[in-house]
Amino acid sequence: MTQEHLHIALNHLPFLGSGIATIPIIVGIVLRSKATLITGLTIAAIFGWITPIVMSTGEAASERYEEGPVRVFLDSNVKQALEAHEDRAEVWSKVMYLSAIVSPMALGISLWRFSMGRYVSIAAALLGLAALGSGIWIAESGGKIRRPDFRLPATAGDNPSKKVDND
């Protein structure tokens, strides 16, 4: 398996995992359920720590593009999409790293003193939502690397619910 394959396989896990983990974190806080809160924080911590792997494989994939072997499989307009994806990932992955640090801290504090951990878990939930948003922003540009149709500008007449009559 190449670095590109691994990157594509793992790249959505940190932000989707953090976003999904927000649900049990919030439920655990609101219902004062230690088990639910611990479950959510554990999910957020595990998926958050996949971020370094995603960043490393993305960097390796970019280097393979620059060296040439991957370039033959991509069209000539991919450079701008690749640069946008790299720039976004470099800046916004910090939110995912922060979520990956705060979630285990909140987990530890919640295991030690549940009443105190609930307050730190609010920060973990907010960072999980921020990680979800930043991941979507990064992924939007990443999709344009392999999908030239994602690079087309949206037109005012685009309406996905409109049916085409082929008669």
Radius of gyration of the chain (CA): 19
The four Cα atoms 147, 160, 157, 83 give a dihedral, to 10 degrees, of -20
HSE-up (13 A, CA, CB side) for residue 56: 7
Compute the residue count for the chain: 167
Question: What's the pLDDT score for residue 60?
Answer: 87
Question: What's the pLDDT score for residue 156?
Answer: 56
Contact by Cβ (8 Å): 102, 126 = no
The token pair that represents 126 in the structure block = 């907010």
Residue spans of the domains in the chain: they are 3-151
Question: What's the pLDDT score for residue 31?
Answer: 96
Q: What is the pTM of this model?
A: 0.81
Question: What's the pLDDT score for residue 167?
Answer: 47
C-alpha distance from residue 162 to each of 150, 153, 159 (Å): 19, 18, 5
The token pair that represents 75 in the structure block = 């069209």
Between CA 96 and CA 105, with CA 100 as vertex, the angle to 5 degrees is 145
pLDDT (tens, 9 = 90+) of the chain, 167 residues, equals 888 789 889 999 999 999 999 999 999 999 999 999 999 999 999 999 999 999 999 898 888 777 776 665 677 677 788 888 999 999 999 999 999 999 999 999 999 999 899 999 999 999 999 999 999 999 988 888 777 667 677 665 555 555 545 54
The four Cα atoms 153, 82, 45, 26 give a dihedral, to 10 degrees, of -10
